[in-house]
């Protein structure tokens, strides 16, 4: 008797803006790609507001409005009932803490007291293309009996561990822990999760099958794959969108107000004409 093949897993994508400013053309292109890839499946909007100092609620209503104006629709998101609510990351802290505790039980995190300056001074200078120096391992040998304490925790990478994956847009990718990145933060001094921990915890909990994000996050993806491995979880597929640059070849950032969706709209652009720009801009 032949076995039935397993049913195909339905596509679940997400867009995960941080409310630290207005969305610009670069975000819009990445989010539009995420929306298109999720057609026929489910798209989740997740408000990544864990950084208390930089996030503002007015930017949440602004991105909801801008995304809707552009024509993006989602099935689950902030303010909506849903199987994975809440969709505001700042309200998911208990879940994030459970993930930290599970890493702690496996002996994979250590408390770190290094300041940014100490790390900068004792680490080898970052080489080109790397966004920060590799952590020099100063606190690696430290431990505390419980993860439920205020303070800064780092995930201990295995030096030399290779992280390779097939990116759906960019093809084969390969990074080496301890060389391309070092032990990275999973919990912050102000007792909030780091981006890496929160994003893995939430993508896994929300059953995301493919992550669409900007190519600036490739190294983060490599770190996140190590977290999936450590937690015994299967990582989603990844699709990294090439970054958009301005007329001077500079990467777009939220400070490029002229290219914010708000400003383009104010200057009379329609959603269609903004979407047409995605194709033209490298
Ligand atoms: N919230 C992150 C950001 O706006 C991106 C999250 C992601 O796609 O993983 O940069």
In angstroms, the CA 278 to CA 244 distance is 9
Gyration radius from the chain CA atoms? 20
* For residue 257, pLDDT beyond 80: no
Is the C-beta atom of 17 inside 6 A of ligand 1?
yes
Q: What does the pLDDT look like over 73-127, one tens digit per residue?
A: 999 999 999 899 999 999 999 999 999 999 999 999 999 999 888 888 877 655 5
Is the C-beta atom of 213 inside 6 A of ligand 1?
yes
**Core vs surface per residue 205-229: b (16+ CB within 10 A) or e:** ebebbbbbbbeebbbbbbbbbbbee
In angstroms, the CA 245 to CA 278 distance is 11
Ligand 1 centroid to Cα of residue 116, in Å, is 22
Is the C-beta atom of 33 inside 6 A of ligand 1?
no
Q: What does the pLDDT look like over 188-237, one tens digit per residue?
A: 999 999 999 999 999 999 999 999 999 999 999 999 999 999 999 999 99
Is the C-beta atom of 199 inside 6 A of ligand 1?
yes
The vertex-109 CA angle with 187 and 216, nearest 5°, equals 55
Q: What does the pLDDT look like over 29-60, one tens digit per residue?
A: 999 999 999 999 999 999 999 999 999 999 99
Assessment of whether the complete model's pTM goes beyond 0.85: yes
Of all atoms in ligand 1, which is nearest to the CA of residue 20?
Answer: 4
Ligand 1 centroid to Cα of residue 158, in Å, is 25
pLDDT at 126: 54
């Amino acid at each position: 008797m032949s076995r039935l093949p397993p049913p195909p897993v339905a596509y679940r994508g997400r867009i995960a803006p941080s409310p630290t400013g207005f969305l610009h053309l670069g975000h819009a292109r990445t989010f539009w790609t995420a929306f298109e890839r999720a057609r026929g499946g489910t798209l989740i909007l997740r408000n990544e507001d864990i950084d208390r100092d930089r996030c503002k609620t007015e930017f949440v209503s602004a991105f909801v409005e801008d995304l809707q104006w552009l024509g993006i629709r989602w099935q689950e998101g902030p303010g909506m009932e849903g199987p994975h609510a809440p969709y505001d990351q700042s309200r998911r802290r208990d879940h994030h803490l459970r993930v930290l505790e599970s890493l702690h039980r496996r002996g994979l995190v250590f408390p770190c007291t290094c300041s940014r300056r100490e790390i900068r001074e004792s680490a080898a200078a970052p080489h080109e293309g790397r966004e920060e120096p590799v952590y020099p391992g100063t606190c690696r040998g430290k431990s505390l009996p419980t993860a439920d304490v205020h303070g800064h925790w780092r995930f201990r990478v295995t030096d030399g561990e290779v992280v390779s994956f097939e990116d759906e847009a960019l093809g084969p990718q390969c990074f080496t822990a301890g060389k391309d990145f070092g032990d990275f933060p999973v919990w912050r001094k102000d007792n909030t999760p780091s981006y890496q921990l929160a994003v893995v915890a939430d993508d896994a909990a929300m059953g995301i099958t493919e992550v669409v994000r900007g190519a600036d996050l490739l190294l983060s993806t490599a770190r996140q794959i190590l977290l999936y491995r450590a937690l015994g979880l299967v990582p989603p597929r990844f699709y990294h969108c090439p970054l958009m640059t301005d007329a001077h070849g500079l990467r777009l950032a939220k400070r490029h107000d002229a290219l914010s969706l708000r400003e383009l709209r104010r200057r009379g652009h329609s959603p269609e004409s903004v979407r047409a720009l995605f194709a033209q801009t490298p």
